[in-house]
Structure formats: C-alpha cells, structure tokens
Structure 1
Amino acid sequence: MHIAKKIESSKVNRPALRLVKTQDLSRDEWLEVRKRGIGSSDAGTAVGLNPYQSPLELWMIKTGRDGDMPKIDPNDETSPTYWGSLLEPIVAAHYTKRTGNRVRKINAVLQHADEDKSWMLANIDREVVGANDVQILECKTAGEFGARLWRDGVPDYVVCQVQHQLAVTGKGSADVCVLICGQEIRVYRIHRDDELIARLIKLERQFWHYVETDTPPPADGSESADRALRYLYPKDTGNTIDFADDTEMSATFADLVNLRADIANREELESLLKQKIQEKMGDASVAVFETGKVSFRRSKDSHGIDIAKLLLDQPDIPERYPLVKPGNRRFLIST
C-alpha cells in the first residue's frame, strides 16, 4: 500500500515537458500552438466556470471555426487583455517587492509529461526562484467590473487555471498576485489539491473529446454561447425540421414558452412596483428605504442628426453613401 502511494506520488510530480519555445513565436503562431491542447487559461472555460467564455466558443477556437468571430486586438488600449499584458511585469515586480520572492520568465509552452495527458498545456507567467514553499506566480489585473469577482478571494476559473498549472508542472503551490483597479495589490496562496486536479482532468478530458470528435459541446445559456452559435450557423437553409415526435425537444419548447410568459408577467409586476415608487417620489431625485435607495434623475440632453429632415433636403444621400448591413438570424416563437 505504501509502495503504491509512493509510486503514484512520484508519477504525479513528474516535471513538465517543454513543447515549444515562445521567445521567437509571433502571436498568431502562439495561438496556433494553443490549439493543440487545453492551456491553463482554457481550463476554467473547458469545465464551464469562466464567466467570460463558454465551452462552445472555446471549442470553435480549438477546431479552427473561429475565423469570422471577433478577435481581441492586442494593441487595443480599451481592452483588459492589453492592460493585463502591459502591467504583468509591474505586477510581478511588485510581488517580489511585497514577498521577497525572486521570479523569472519561462519562455516555453509546457506539456504534461504523461502521454495520456499530452493535451494538457500550460503557459506560466513566472517561475518563483529559491523559495521552498511556492514555485509558480500567476499575475492578474482586475478593473472595476472584474474586481467584483475577487471580493471573496480567487475566482473559481482562476483556481482552475492555477490547479491546471500545478498538474502540468508537478509543482506543489502557486501564488496569485492581482492588481485591483490599478491601485491595490493582493497575493493569494493556492496549494496543490490532487482531488480537485483529478476532477479537473476528468472534465477537461470530456471537453477535449468534443474537440477530437469534432462534436460541439452543449450550449450553456451564456452570451458567449449565443455568439458562438450565431457564428457556427450564420445562415439558414430555408428547410423545416420536424421535432413533433421528439419528446425532449418538444418539452424544451414548452418550457421556453412557459418561461417567456412568466418573464412577461414578472416584467409587468416590475413596472407596476417601479411606477408606484415613482408616483410617491414626485419630483424628488432620490428615495431612501430601509434596505437601499433609488434615484430618479433626468439625464443630460443628447445631440444627434435629424435623419428624416436631412433626407428631405438631400434625398440622394442613400444612393451616394450606400451601406449594406449583413442580416442576422432571428429566433421567433409562434404558438
């Protein structure tokens, strides 16, 4: 029994393989390498815990179906990704200042050493040097919206990312250093959890099976899944598909119709309650209650162009400046 445990432990802690060096890779080449497996930043998405991306959208990327989907521009200064990349060295430097731990970059995509987990890849922000209690540093930045996800500690999708890194590298613990709203540094320690890693690997393997068999994973109701479906099936054929004898799909349709009716009733009730408060407020700007408050203020005047008058004065404008907007598939319900 003790021998078996010792053998299993040594197998778990095998160091990662260096799949490819990243020093001379372009961004496009690096993205192509990532399609060869599930990276650490993909882990939370693959198991359905990433609030920013669905498994379906990730599947489209891994299977090369994302050609027409909007891409993150690494030079877009309004993108959180841009600022995350720009501030990563600053976060790492402040981590060293805060903890005294020295760090260095690993310029390689790492791969799990076990052949049956070769699809597990990892990019490590920094390796911690000379510390016995921690080996990996993950750098994060969070803006006003993202900071909400850090109120109770490290978000689940980041925990998955770090445990994935520990699984690939065989290391024992990692620090997550996050810069909150550009002015607050927090450091969290995450220890290796072999039970969690086992569950993570099982779920990730299920996702990778979808990729290997070219089978789309189920949609999860997120905006990301909605976006992925629209790009996966951008056009309709004009054909009619009959689900009348499909009990599961007929039940799904009935649930959707009932849910929409319930939502309509609740929206009507919401309007009634809101109007009751507005009526009592009169011309007041703010109303305070036992558990919160509401504001009822007039917004600033906006300025625009009166298109109708413009077209009366210059009716040839549509011909001189034509614009064709691609149509979108609309989901309409009839009962």
Structure 2
Amino acid sequence: MVRPVVSPGSEASPRPRPALRLVKTQDLDRDQWLQVRKGGIGSSDAAAAVGLNPYQSQLELWMEKTGRAPTAPPGDGGADDLSPMYWGSLLEPIVAAHYTRRTGNRVRRINAVLQHPEFPWMLANIDREVMGASDVQLLECKTAGIQGAWLWRDGVPEYVQLQVQHQLAVTGKAAADVAVLLGGQELQIFRIERDDELIAQLITLEREFWGYVERGQAPPADGSDSADRALRALYPRDTGFTLNLKHDLVMGAVFSDLLAVREVLATNTALEAQFKQAIQQRMGDSSRAVFENGEVSFKRSRDGTQLDTARLAKEQPEIVKAYTVPKPGSRRFLVQT
C-alpha cells in the first residue's frame, strides 16, 4: 500500500542545494563513528532534538552529544538478539530488497555521512538511495515487531516523519519512501513528500537544541522516562548539601504546582480504588463483567513459586554469601510539607 503522509511544500521555494559528503563510513571504527555522530544532529536524532521522540528526550540526547552518556551508532545492536536495533540492522537489506521487488525501483547504499550545505550540524545517514525514479529519491527501511506495529496503524509515526524530513532537508531531495516490515511478514510502503514549511520549523527547533549542546547547557526535563534516566545518570549521588530555594520565585512556583498536582493525584487515586472495589464487590467470584461501554476482568493468576531467602540465609549462609553481589543505591525524591 502506498499513500501520502505529509503534504508537499510550496513550489515557489528556491531549489535546495545537494548535501555535502562529510566522511566515508566504510572504514570508520566504532570510536571514529561516535565522534562523527557527536558532531551534529543526525536524522535519527531529529525527533528527539525537537522533543517529539516517544523513546528519547532532549535531555538524554543532549547527554549523548556532549559526551555525558554512552551512545551507539544506529543499527549497532551488537550480539543482543532481543534488541530492536539488532533486528532492524539485520533485516534492513531484506526490507530494501523486497521494496525493489514490490516497486521495481533500484536502490543502492550511500556509504557516507551527509552534511547540510548551509547548517553543518545537520547530518544524515541514508539507508538507501533510489536510482532512476523521477518521483522518489530516498528509501528509509524500518522494522516493527508485534508490540510496535500498532504505531503504524494510521501511517508513518510522527517521529519517523521527522526523521525523513530531516533527510530531505540535508540532501535537498523531493521525496522518500518508507518501507516497514510489520510483525516479520507484512511489508508496507509509504511516500513522504518534501515539506519546506515543516523543514523550516524543524531547522529552527534543531538549531535551538544544538545551541544547548554548544553551550553545554542542559535542556529542560520533560517528565518522560527518558528524562528520568538522564537525570539519574547525570546526578547519581547526592553530596549532603542543602540547597536553599526559599527566595527562588521560579522554583517556588514549581514546588507549589507539584504539591497541587500531588493532591489531585492522591484524591483521584483514592476515588479510583473506591470505584474499582465497588465493581469487585459486585462481581464477587465472577471472572468478567461487561458494561455498555467496556468490560473488566477479575481473575486469579497462576500459582507460582518463590525462593525462601530468609530460610536459605539461615540454613545455608555460605551459599548466600557466595552468590551475593553489591547493589548500587539510587536517589529517592521525597516531598515533605
């Protein structure tokens, strides 16, 4: 199935200039690749750089770009066959081959990191270049497992659209196809046309993010799990110092908002428990209850087993000692009023 996802930009826009070839990738080792990647915003970074990647926050991306966190090159899933990155890298040639079989479009690799001719911090790695087609020039290969396939239910996810628009911005090309293998057995193809208005907004927001990188100033946390991971990595230990924020009006307002939100959450949590228990009480020993606008289940899970660690420590302390490993502590955020 082929269908448009993003409307094309204005025909009155000036003709974009082609990308520069920053560095060839065939002979780069891992450390060299990481250095190149730190030097700019790649297409796979675009959505995170503008705060629209569901898996990575601006803060976590900023840590990678400033060398405050380890990073891995795209497609480098190592030997971890549970990693989506591993399977994406492994299946990319297969997706590209089936794209050619489905469309008749020939494709080839671009073994180089590309750079925007005007904005040197805009980089791109292209999965494939489409050869000899007048209506499309780039191919982005994707894979989505059973759990991730729902993201493609309504077309190309927003974060992938931004990735492709970034590629079109860097290369100056007019259109790209996204070929995605869903659940290991269904290939879908989507066309994304160049949108110059969206690209202009993307460049503005990416430039703002790159300013944080150049200044070494962390962007604001966004409340995501990714931002939480980043903060814990940035500040893994506390010093025991007490920070006096009594006269900080901005942080004082933030703390007041936090208290207000926690009060609402506590009230809603109590109400949720009350409503849930009312349904449980009415169900009794029933397994399922059906309502006009939905249903609930109330089933017993299977019996399992667990290790009696207290008894083991008492009767076989030498075994417990031999298999005990240190566990690093973590910082807890506690609120008192």
TM normalised by structure 1 equals 0.93
Q: Is the 8 A contact 2:77 2:89 kept in 1?
A: no
Q: 1:20 to 1:32 in 2, by over 3 A?
A: same
- 1:191-219 CA deviation, whole Å, 9 max, x = no partner? 11111000000000000000001000110
Is 1:99 the counterpart of 2:103? The answer is: yes
Q: Is the 8 A contact 1:178 1:185 kept in 2?
A: yes
- 1:164-214 CA deviation, whole Å, 9 max, x = no partner? 100100000001111111122111111111110000000000000000010
Aligned residues: 326
User: Which 4+ residue blocks in structure 1 deviate beyond 3 angstroms?
Assistant: 5-8, 315-322
Name the residue aligned to 1:289: 291
Q: Is the 8 A contact 2:64 2:71 kept in 1?
A: no
Matches within 5 A, 1:257-268: 257-268=259-270
Task: Give the match's secondary structure for 2:41.
Answer: coil
Name the residue aligned to 1:43: 46
- 1:177 counterpart letter in structure 2: A
Q: CA offset at residue 7 of structure 1?
A: 11
What is the CA–CA distance in structure 1 between the aligned matches of 2:191 and 2:49, rounded to whole Å? Answer: 23
1:33 to 20, 26, 36: 36
Moved more, 275-284 or 42-51: 275-284
Q: CA offset at residue 29 of structure 1?
A: 2.6
Q: Is the 8 A contact 2:312 2:320 kept in 1?
A: no
2:310 to 304, 308, 311: 308
Instruction: Structure 1 unaligned segments of length 5 or more: list them.
Output: none
Q: Relative contact order, CA 8 A, sep 6+: which one is greater?
A: 2
- 1:95 counterpart letter in structure 2: Y
What is the CA–CA distance in structure 2 between the aligned matches of 1:26 and 1:281, rounded to whole Å? Answer: 62
Q: Is the 8 A contact 2:175 2:191 kept in 1?
A: yes
Is 1:53 the counterpart of 2:56? The answer is: yes
Q: Is the 8 A contact 2:129 2:138 kept in 1?
A: yes
What is the CA–CA distance in structure 1 between the aligned matches of 2:318 and 2:110, rounded to whole Å? Answer: 61
Is 1:217 the counterpart of 2:222? The answer is: no
What is the CA–CA distance in structure 1 between the aligned matches of 2:311 and 2:188, rounded to whole Å? Answer: 56
Is 1:177 the counterpart of 2:179? The answer is: yes
Matches within 5 A, 1:80-229: 80-114=84-118, 117-229=119-231
Moved more, 214-223 or 319-328: 319-328
What is the CA–CA distance in structure 1 between the aligned matches of 2:94 and 2:136, rounded to whole Å? Answer: 20
Q: 1:67 to 1:86 in 2, by over 3 A?
A: closer
Task: Give the match's secondary structure for 2:330.
Answer: coil
- 1:81-140 CA deviation, whole Å, 9 max, x = no partner? 1111111111111111111111111111101112xx011000000000000000000011
